[in-house]
Amino acid sequence: MTRVAAIDCGTNTVKLLVADLEPDGSSVEHLRTMRMVRLGQDVDRTGELHPDALARLFGALDEYAAIIADHDVTHLRFCATSAARDARNADEFTAGVQARLGVRPEVVSGDEEARLSFAGATRGLPPGLPGPFVVVDIGGGSTELVRGAAYAAFDPAAPGSQACSMDVGAVRLTERHLAGDPPTEAQVAAAISDIEAALDGAPVDLAEAGTVIGVAGTITTITADVLGLDSYDRAAIDGAVLAASDVARAGRRLLASTVAERRALPFLHPGRADVIGAGALILERVLARTGVESLRVSEADILDGIAWSLVDP
């Protein structure tokens, strides 16, 4: 047994997983938590991490450092994605993380992010699902699309394996286009145009997907809406299979709501209220290109992939 801590630092959230990983591939989860820090605040416009965003992140990491110490963790990996990749002042970010956690943050490449996301999303899937698999991870700053063989670790060199990171995410798209509350038709059209241009340039063949797996907070939140949950219920969301048409309707409903109306939804984290509409648009356009009739949702994601990377060869 190896006790590990995995941290995924994205554009909107920083997440922590503490788990015991067994040699037989099983695991015992001790803690999974998240803080909304909006690290990507204004990065698309300024090219730098905002001082307030860094302060929010470092406050969350102070909490995480105490949790990790309390759980006697022996292996720790900290991975950062879109916002940290884009920032000119990433050295300040790096120094702050290292001072609090004792490890240097890894600003992972697109290929590594794809490998970790695919591994996390597919490890616990039931047998018999048709391939190829396409994993969709909608973050704050970017959207990752990963296509790979069924039930296999993602290998960029394997035939049919494809991955990309597109610079359209829920925060970035909201800041670029969706200023209205709710957004205007013209703003929505501009956002869709941006998404479609990104998909046109994406080197991932979505049309032949056998199974599409959606991961991370945007997609799990939309799932809670489709399921009509009274509160966010991880057990109900994990493994849910949703009709693509229901996903599209829920997304458009969220997009047409005001931020105040979204905040009143019992399953929606307040930190997602202003950006969930943009995320819903991205998911809608991705599913439209796959042609599948359903979306399978997983609560396991890049965080789980980071954890297993500490013990897998």
Instruction: Output the DSSP codes for the chain.
Output: -EEEEEEEE-SSEEEEEEEEE-TTS-EEEEEEEEEE--TTTTHHHHSS--HHHHHHHHHHHHHHHHHHHHTT-SEEEEEE-HHHHH-TTHHHHHHHHHHHHSSPPEE--HHHHHHHHHHHHHTTPPTT--S-EEEEEE-SS-EEEEEE-TTS---TTSTT-EEEEES--HHHHHHHH--SSSPPHHHHHHHHHHHHHHHHT-----TT-SEEEEESHHHHHHHHHHHT-SS--HHHHTT-EEEHHHHHHHHHHHHHS-HHHHHTSTTS-GGGTTTHHHHHHHHHHHHHHH--SEEEEES--HHHHHHHHTT--
The domains of the chain are located at 2-107, 126-298
Residues paired with 28 in a beta bridge: 20
In this structure, are residues 135 and 296 in contact, taking their beta carbons and an 8 Å threshold? no
Pick the CATH number of 2-107 from 3.40.930.10, 3.30.1330.10, 3.90.580.10, 3.30.420.40: 3.30.420.40
Fold match flag (2-107 vs 126-298): yes
- For 126-298, CATH gives 3.30.420.150
**According to the model, what pLDDT value does residue 115 have?**
81
pLDDT in tens, the chain (313 residues): 899 999 999 888 899 999 999 888 788 999 999 998 988 888 778 888 899 999 999 999 999 999 999 999 999 999 997 667 768 888 899 999 999 999 999 988 777 887 888 888 888 788 888 888 999 999 888 898 999 886 666 676 677 788 888 889 998 999 999 999 999 999 999 999 999 999 999 999 899 899 999 998 899 999 999 999 999 999 999 999 999 999 999 999 999 999 999 999 999 999 899 999 999 999 999 999 998 999 999 998 889 999 999 987 5
**According to the model, what pLDDT value does residue 35 have?**
94
**According to the model, what pLDDT value does residue 313 have?**
58
CA 79 from centroid of its chain's CA atoms: 13
